[in-house]
A and B are shown apart, each in its own frame.
Chain A
Amino acid sequence: MTTGGPQRQSPTPADPRPFVVLAEDDPAVAQTLAPLLARSGFQVEVVGDGLAALEAVARREPDVCVLDVLMPRLDGREALRRLRRSGRHVPVLLLTEVGDAAERAMALEEGADDYLNKPFDPAELIARIRAVLRRARPGRPPLSAAHVLQAGQLRLDRVSRRAWLGERELVLTPRAMTLLDYFLTHPDELLHRDRLLQVLWGFDNPVGTRALDNRIAELRKALRDDATAAQWIATVPSVGYRFVAAVDGL
């Protein structure tokens, strides 16, 4: 099913709208998300499983892929792995059904550019797709696909989950490491406190945000960052944080 235009086999070169492949097996979700995306300025092709998603990506080279995790034939996670193994760097947003922190970390390590827990705010889906598109570096692999990320003196090995500032290895708790990974794969993006808490916990609205403040303090201490003149993590008052250094994938 294609909305936002007549059935086409390839994106119209003249159509400047970003092209989204949405893989979702639940017709109720697909039929409501497709018009939402179309109205928000995207061309959309809806497919019902992971294999169809791979086929659509090969055929139409979309700007972004939205993959549900639980799908028949081939689930979203395996589709993502196959995409990355075949060297396709199309940005991928996973629609997860799991709240487990380890599962979320895994999704990001497997090369997802972002993920969203169902049921999500429709406006949030649009915002995430736009953010992923802004981050995309045409012709170059996304930061989320890199094993090692570098920002100035800071180096993060995402596979072994170790980080160094110059020659000094950073001693971080597992949650601070997860947060650092998220910052480095989302540079120069305003990251809301709720979003960061979700990265850490899978919670939408936990009681208090002390857990986040403590992890930010831990990261700043390890990075010897000054909150008032941030070189790495800048505070956006009463909203959240932004990783301000430029990041490159190695």
Chain B
Amino acid sequence: MNRWRVLAVAAVPLLLGAVAALVIASAKHGLRLHLSVAIWLLALEAGVVLAVIAGAVAWHRGRVRQAGAAASATAQREGAERAQAEHRRFVSRLDHELKNPLTALRAALTNLAAGLRPGPERDSVAGVDAQVLRLVRVTSDLRRLAAVETAPLDAGMIQPESLLTELVDDAVDLARAVDPPVRVELDLPRRPWPLTPVWGDRDLLHLALLNVVGNAVKFSHPSGLVTVSARDDLGRNGAGWLTIEVTDTGVGVPPDELPLIWEELARGRAARGTPGSGIGLAMVRAIVSRHRGEVALRSVAGRGTVVVFRLPTGAPAPPAPPAGRQLPGVADQVHR
């Protein structure tokens, strides 16, 4: 179809020329125009005409390629968004289907235990109850994830220093529970002006950061070190970014588990035996994405883990970074 259109467009000047020739030829016999042109000028003109044609063709090809690339990027993004939405619907249906049976089970077990004297039978009812509670925790975690994805943002400008100081205060409390305690240190830039504020929901950002710092403490070796550091960078187009890094010297994540860590209910081998349901990083990803930021994790099994947050600075939130952009130097697992 396109080829015919090109032929039709090309045919127009040809036809116009033919018609003009016919008209002139039939009007006056022997009409002549004598021109003398330097050969070098003819060569130059031919060169210019060819250059224009070649430029036009190249420009057109570029347009076609660009449109194709944009269409495929859009299709890819739309596909990913569709899959994500479908996945969310499935998770919410799962949660919904579990609620009533779990409510009934909990009430039934309470009724059953009330009729039993202390002894092995009552102990086994308590055992079943503990298993039901594990399922309850999974549903409440799924609900928590849904809540952070949909709750309206109570957003404002946040001074990073105060957010991070609070974070580290809470992390120190968590770290005291480890024996011997894990050290948690805050490393802020030493300069005479503060970090650039970020726009966002302070509660949610605190929750996301505390989840990551909590993991860092949980998976640290005793007497390990967890560091929280921050800096602000001027990115492309003058858009600024606040970078927050959480590093630990803990057990790390084996390479085969890295692609799965951001999934709901994903729990690594090292996490077995530590409390938690594996919803934390999925929630972190959801919160960061609502703030148009990025979060990436790099880890070496047995050595430790670095989680890097990048949040847009300034208000209101600047437009999202171009699709497909990755954090320089941290390509393992980037999520936005």
A residues 204-221 in Cβ contact with B at 8 Å = 204-208, 210-211, 214
Residues of B within 8 A of A201 (CB): 144, 147, 151
Q: Which of B103-111, B239-247, B248-256, B290-298 contacts A (4 or more CB under 8 A)?
A: B103-111
Residues of B within 8 A of A204 (CB): 137, 140, 144
- B123 beta carbon closer than 8 Å to chain A: no
Residues of A within 8 A of B207 (CB): 206-208, 211
Q: How far is the CA of A7 from the CA of B110 in the complex (A)?
A: 25
Q: Which of A9-17, A94-102, A141-149, A233-241 contacts B (4 or more CB under 8 A)?
A: A94-102
A26 and B104 form a contact (CB under 8 A):
yes
* Distance from A42 Cβ to chain B, minimum over Cβ atoms (Å): 14
- B166 beta carbon closer than 8 Å to chain A: yes
A207 and B203 form a contact (CB under 8 A):
no
Residues of A within 8 A of B102 (CB): 118-119
* Distance from A236 Cβ to chain B, minimum over Cβ atoms (Å): 20
Residues of A within 8 A of B146 (CB): 99-100
B140 and A205 form a contact (CB under 8 A):
yes
Residues of A within 8 A of B104 (CB): 26, 28-29, 31-32
Q: How far is the CA of A208 from the CA of B203 in the complex (A)?
A: 10
Q: How far is the CA of A32 from the CA of B106 in the complex (A)?
A: 9
Residues of B within 8 A of A202 (CB): 143-144, 147, 151
- B96 beta carbon closer than 8 Å to chain A: yes
Whether A32 touches B144, Cβ cut-off 8 Å, given contacts A119-B139, A175-B203, A214-B202, is no
Q: How far is the CA of A123 from the CA of B107 in the complex (A)?
A: 9
Q: How far is the CA of A201 from the CA of B202 in the complex (A)?
A: 13
B206 and A208 form a contact (CB under 8 A):
yes
- B134 beta carbon closer than 8 Å to chain A: no
* Distance from B160 Cβ to chain A, minimum over Cβ atoms (Å): 16
Chain B interface mostly: helix
Name A201's closest neighbour in chain B (CB-CB).
B147
- A2 beta carbon closer than 8 Å to chain B: no
Q: A97 touches which one: B99, B154, B280 (CB < 8 A)? A: B99
* Distance from B103 Cβ to chain A, minimum over Cβ atoms (Å): 4
* Most chain B beta carbons < 10 A, residue from A29, A120, A174: A29
Name A96's closest neighbour in chain B (CB-CB).
B99
- B22 beta carbon closer than 8 Å to chain A: no
Name A209's closest neighbour in chain B (CB-CB).
B170
- A36 beta carbon closer than 8 Å to chain B: yes
- B329 beta carbon closer than 8 Å to chain A: no
* Most chain B beta carbons < 10 A, residue from A26, A99, A101, A122: A99
Chain A 114-143 interface 0/1 with B at a Cβ cutoff of 8 Å (1 = within): 000111111100000000000000000000
Q: How far is the CA of A116 from the CA of B108 in the complex (A)?
A: 18
Q: How far is the CA of A100 from the CA of B147 in the complex (A)?
A: 6
* Distance from B219 Cβ to chain A, minimum over Cβ atoms (Å): 15
* Distance from B294 Cβ to chain A, minimum over Cβ atoms (Å): 21
User: Which residues of A does B touch, CB under 8 Å?
Assistant: 26, 28-29, 31-33, 35-36, 39, 97, 99-102, 117-123, 173-175, 201-208, 210-211, 214
A-B contact pairs, 15 of them (CB 8 A): A28-B104, A32-B111, A36-B111, A99-B143, A100-B150, A100-B151, A101-B152, A118-B102, A119-B139, A201-B144, A202-B143, A205-B140, A206-B144, A210-B170, A214-B203
Given pairs A119-B100, A207-B207, 5 additional interface contacts (CB within 8 A) = A29-B100, A119-B105, A206-B207, A214-B202, A214-B203
